[in-house]
Amino acid sequence: MLRLGKREFGPHEPVIMAIVNRTPDSFYDQGATFRDEPALARVEQAVADGAAIIDIGGVKAGPGEEVTAEEEARRTVGFVAEVRRRFPDVIISVDTWRAEVGEAVCEAGADLLNDAWGGVDPGLAEVAARHRVGLVCTHAGGAEPRTRPHRIEYDDVMADILDVTVGLAERALALGVPRESIMIDPGHDFGKNTRHSLEATRRLDEMVATGWPVLVSLSNKDFVGETLDRPVKERVVGTLATTAVSAWLGAQVYRVHEVAETRQVLEMVAAIAGHRAPAVARRGLA
| Active site (annotated) includes residue 221 | yes
Burial class from Cβ neighbours inside 10 Å (0-12, 13-18, 19+) for residue 10 reads exposed
| Active site (annotated) includes residue 60 | no
Helix, strand, coil fractions of the chain, as percent rounded to 5: 45, 15, 40
Distance CA 83, CA 63 (A): 28
Q: 42, 171, 203, 221: which one is catalytic?
A: 221
Q: 98, 192, 235, 255: which one is catalytic?
A: 255
Distance CA 116, CA 119 (A): 8
CA angle 130, 168, 97 (to 5 degrees): 65
Burial 94-123 (b: 16+ CB within 10 A, else e): bbbbbbbbbbbbbebbbbbbbbbbbbebee
Spatial CA neighbour of 191 closest among 119, 142, 121: 142
Distance CA 165, CA 118 (A): 8
Question: What is the four-CA torsion angle of 166, 271, 2, 122, rounded to 10 degrees?
Answer: 40
Supply the residues annotated as catalytic.
221, 255
